[in-house]
Chains A and B, each alone.
Chain A
Amino acid sequence: MTGLLTLVTFLPAAGAVLVFLVPRRREAATKTITVAVTAATFAASVPLYWGFDPARADYQFPDWHAWMPTLGISYHLGVDGISLLLVLLTTFLMPLVMLSAWNAIESRWKEFAITMLLLETGMLGVFVALDLFLFYVFWEAMLIPMYLVIGIWGGGNRVYAAIKFVLYTLAGSLLMLVAILALYFQHGAATGIYTFDLPVLAQFVLPAGLNQNLLFLAFALAFAIKVPMFPFHTWLPDAHVEAPTAGSVILAAVLLKMGTYGFLRFCLPLFPQSSLMFAPWMFLLAVIGIIYGAWLSTVQPDIKKLVAYSSVSHLGFVVLGLFTLTPQGIVGGIIQMVNHGLSTGALFLLVGMIYERRHTRLIAEFGGLWSVIPAFSAVLMIVTLSSLGLPGLNGFVGEFLILVGAFQVNRAVAVFAMTGIIFAAVYLLWMYQRVIFGSVTNEANRRLPDLTPREWVVLLPVLLFIVWIGVYPATFTGMTETSVQSLITQVQSKAAATAALLAK
């Protein structure tokens, strides 16, 4: 089905134009149209799942058009087992997020809707682009909507957080641009074919050495900032905390995944030798991130900050899994990307809901909520448990697979990473205990209303998938396995070919 990916990617942008045309005073219509557009995008993306052939490792639903033929730039889209789940995660979360913003965004809803819809097109574009130029266009274009979402609709310190977010990511990605250009010209000089097409470039065996390492580092820096890995994580707490709930959810659930996706899609197949060489360093940074993020979470007085730092920890697991280069590790990493999107997304949604009621997020302000809002408390419990990796819920599956992968490669790393799960239990359960259990200590909490039907609609689908992945992950892992296996084979054979080049 050619054109399906284009439809999915650009439907939100078309929706943005539609919303632009709706008069400002028709706010209810704006909200309905926005949610409808995002829901339609999700509906359009579901056939990607049905039509996807999990036995094939190549890119499916391809869409190719010449764009700037003299430079070898084309409009090339496609999904494989690595990107499929991330595309679905994005389209699945967007309607829920827009629904959650229904009342939470109090000013300029129309602009908010337009920005978010353009953001969705950017995010989807990043996951489906198979041309490095096109990828870079989406990757950069998506920065501006997120900048606006944080800067316009964010909290008290929003401008600082927004600028920090943009400058951090821009600095990293611009270096990646130079690396993309260098790769393009090296490939052109070696083969005579000047192209930005990823499947073609991925066949290219770069000689090992300084050149490949520098290219790898330029790409890796851009992705490491996006993930974010320690020590490039300092933009994240600011951005997550200042962003409005909808922005935080999208940041955590989708934007951070672009970093890990980038490692998988670009760093590993393009620079296999360097990836293998730097893997121990990536392990080190990942493990530091896992433990350090967890420690920082433990001492946060603000629930949203706690969740923000927990992302550093969780994403550390993902990076760890990817660089094990074992099937279990990578599949676990991919599933963990989805899990983190669901669990942390849900946590941010819940924090947003309680913030709408109380206009504070300080743990000390709460206590004994179970007796006041039991439904909210129950949902928060499920999500918390999923986030800390309780067996039977989604988080366990991903972390387990990653640790299985890590054990095969480096036991010490696996052991240290394991402590991250323990610390996760500490900070999450301690937070839960202080907020939910005990007696009501603050009078302001006594009359809080419980979840509204709209909030149930937002949360239930997420809960469904949290349990589904926990109980029967094969629905999702099955989609990725062939692609992952072929990626590993490709990395190993290319690394061998590079070694052969050296031996000559």
Chain B
Amino acid sequence: MNPQAAAPLADALVFPVVDLRAVLPVLIVAVAAAVVVLLDLLPPRGRKDHLGVVGLLGVVGSLAATFWLWGGDARAFRGMIVLDSYALFFNLVIGYATGLVLLLSMDYIRREGMEAGEFYILVLLAAVGMMLMASAGDLIIIFLALETMSLSLYVLAGFFRTRAEAGEASMKYFLLGAFASAFFLYGIALIFGATGSTNLDRIANAMAAGAGRDPMLVIGAGLLLVGFGFKISSVPFHMWAADVYEGAPTSVTAFIATGSKAAAFAALLRVLLSAVRGASLDWTMLLWVMAALTMTLGNVVAIAQQNLKRMLAYSSIAHVGYMLVGVVAGGALGNGSVLFYLLVYTFTTAGAFGTILLLERGGHEAVRLEDFGGLASRHPLIALTLSVFLLSLVGIPPTAGFVGKFYLFGAAVRAGYIWLAVLGVLNSAVAAYYYLRLIVYMYMREPEGAPTMLAPSFSGGLALVVALWGVIQLGILPAPLLDLAQSAVLPLLR
């Protein structure tokens, strides 16, 4: 028999050889999630701490795999999964975010009377989605990963189901998120129509061949931007952020603010840089306006907030604006600075939410400004820790936040966007007002009324130590990770 004639048949039957290394970090977390599902059915049924520990082991294993694979460039599933240094860097960010969230949650959900195995499962599944988003080489995978992440987060946002605001948060997040997903999917369809493929590399090739002038593609890419804009909560797609951040369990809020944002940025940058680069519409101008609006609106509205979780929600919108400045600046420097900033932001924000989550007053979480009155005299170490995170959010040296901003605005200046950088630094000055206001409450006011108590938690303390270490290490010796972030975006820029 002619071997050539048999080839198509054999090709259809033989399983494709999958390079499992490309999905190894994701796989480890997914396996951990599955193990947690099984263990949840077994005794002991009272305490669920061990499930969190299993989840942590999964995260640590995934981080170890990330370090092991470092520098490689593995592809699998016909280019649908690309584990390049870019994806690996995001695995690092998402791994740290997930680890911190798990640590923060363990005692927290028990204290709130909501301890359940599902919580850990959902956190791990969300992490799987996030990591896949970072390594997706195909729009379909991006969409699937986005939905895996989002559906888990919708449930997590309403996890404290007995509370009205949790229901509101979950519902709002779900409805608006569904809209965004629909936009996203429609965008994929249009791009497929224009280029004949959903694979990012092939879209790029089609663009090079002239598809960039197709209005269908431009509209499709615009719709993708709407979907991403929603996930990173940039203006004008930020409406959900404050309510969701307020109603969700605080550790989940931290996860939404750090992990999901990092994942969305990962996919956004990959699509912008590798696929739709060279579209006839000038994306930079659009992103310039989005960056300016996002940081200004975030900061101005944050000033008016009395609830800390809402304040941090608007602050996180403002930080997205800063990161968009880096996207506008572009190049290895600009995009590298976004990556570095996401890492910095993860440590800082997880730390800030983590500190809040350890405090309670009168049986409720301490989330109002006045709950922090005179905290420094009662819990000096916690007040100091929170102050360091706040100063990092302001961007005061020698914290990591300063280096991150320095790098972002430096990239903008280099690329010639001086006025955007000026707008950014003026925004930082405005932001200083509301961050420092919390320090005023902690250090310059006397405690009034019921005392604010510190909930003892070993895992929570450990999370804060890790976050604090990150903020200080990246502030004083940022050079290795700066270089890493910059080299991580190189595969996209080729």
Contact = CB atoms under 8 A, between A and B. Distances in A.
Interface stretch (B152-160, B396-404, B462-470): B396-404
B422 interface: yes
A178 B421 contact: yes
B421 A181 contact: yes
Interface stretch (A46-54, A151-159, A282-290, A385-393): A151-159
A144 B391 contact: yes
Contacts of B396: 140-141, 143-144
21 contacts: A70-B483, A71-B482, A111-B380, A141-B396, A143-B396, A151-B443, A152-B443, A159-B440, A162-B440, A166-B436, A167-B433, A170-B428, A170-B429, A175-B425, A175-B426, A177-B425, A178-B409, A178-B425, A181-B410, A181-B421, A182-B413
B482 A68 contact: yes
Contacts of B413: 178, 181-182, 185
B397 A137 contact: yes
A286 B409 CA distance: 33
Interface string B409-433: 1100110001001100110110011
A289 to B, nearest CB: 24
A74 to B, nearest CB: 11
Interface of B: 376-377, 380, 391, 396-398, 402, 406, 409-410, 413-414, 418, 421-422, 425-426, 428-429, 432-433, 436-437, 440, 443-444, 478-479, 482-483, 486
Interface in A400-458: none
Contacts of A141: 396-398
A490 to B, nearest CB: 26
A177 B406 CA distance: 8
A137 B477 CA distance: 13
Contacts of A143: 396
B448 to A, nearest CB: 15
A5 to B, nearest CB: 18
A382 interface: no
B398 A170 contact: no
Centre residue among B397, B406, B428 by max chain A CB count within 10 A = B397
A143 B429 CA distance: 13
A71 B376 CA distance: 38
Given A170-B429, A174-B425, A152 B410 contact: no
Contacts of B391: 144
A396 interface: no
Given A140-B396, A163-B433, A68 B425 contact: no
A148 B397 contact: no
A151 B426 contact: no
A266 interface: no
6 tightest Cβ-Cβ pairs between the two chains A and B: A174-B425, A137-B397, A181-B413, A68-B479, A171-B429, A151-B444
A185 B414 contact: yes
Nearest to A68: B479
Contact of B418 (A111, A136, A137, A182): A182
Contacts of A182: 413, 418
Contacts of A64: none
Contacts of A70: 479, 482-483, 486
Interface in A174-192: 174-175, 177-178, 181-182, 184-185
Contact of B422 (A147, A158, A162, A175): A175
B440 A171 contact: no
A174 B408 CA distance: 13
Interface footprint category on A:
35 or more
Contacts of B410: 181, 184-185
A423 B147 CA distance: 74
Given A137-B398, A181-B421, A171 B482 contact: no
A171 B432 CA distance: 10
A111 B383 CA distance: 13
A444 B437 CA distance: 39
A152 B421 CA distance: 33
A281 interface: no
A158 B482 CA distance: 39
B409 A163 contact: no
A167 B478 CA distance: 27
Nearest to A214: B418
A177 B409 CA distance: 9
A194 to B, nearest CB: 10
A12 to B, nearest CB: 15
A181 B334 CA distance: 14
Nearest to A137: B397
Contacts of B377: 108
Contact of B432 (A136, A166, A184): A166
A322 to B, nearest CB: 26
A147 B390 CA distance: 14
A67 B443 CA distance: 34
A174 B443 contact: no
Contacts of B443: 148, 151-152
Nearest to A71: B482
Contacts of A71: 479, 482
A69 interface: yes
Given A159-B440, A163-B436, A177-B409, A68 B397 contact: no
A68 B418 CA distance: 23
A157 B437 CA distance: 15
Contacts of A147: 436
Interface string A359-391: 000000000000000000000000000000000
B440 A68 contact: no
B409 A151 contact: no
Contacts of A163: 433, 436-437, 440
Contacts of A159: 440, 444
Given A136-B397, A138-B397, 8 more contacts: A68-B479, A137-B398, A140-B402, A148-B443, A151-B444, A163-B437, A166-B432, A170-B429
A455 to B, nearest CB: 29
Nearest to A168: B429
Nearest to A144: B396
B385 to A, nearest CB: 14
Nearest to B444: A151
Contacts of B380: 111
Given A140-B396, A163-B433, A166-B432, A178 B418 contact: yes
A174 B396 CA distance: 10
Given A159-B444, A162-B444, A181 B479 contact: no
Nearest to A170: B429
A152 B383 CA distance: 14
B429 A174 contact: yes
Contacts of A175: 422, 425-426
Contacts of A167: 429, 432-433
A166 B483 CA distance: 32
Interface string A124-151: 0000000001001110110110011001
B10 to A, nearest CB: 51
Contacts of A171: 426, 429
A175 B427 CA distance: 11
A99 to B, nearest CB: 25
B81 to A, nearest CB: 31
Contacts of A162: 440, 444
A261 B377 CA distance: 37
A321 B73 CA distance: 62
Contacts of A138: 397
Interface in A51-70: 67-70
Contacts of B482: 68, 70-71
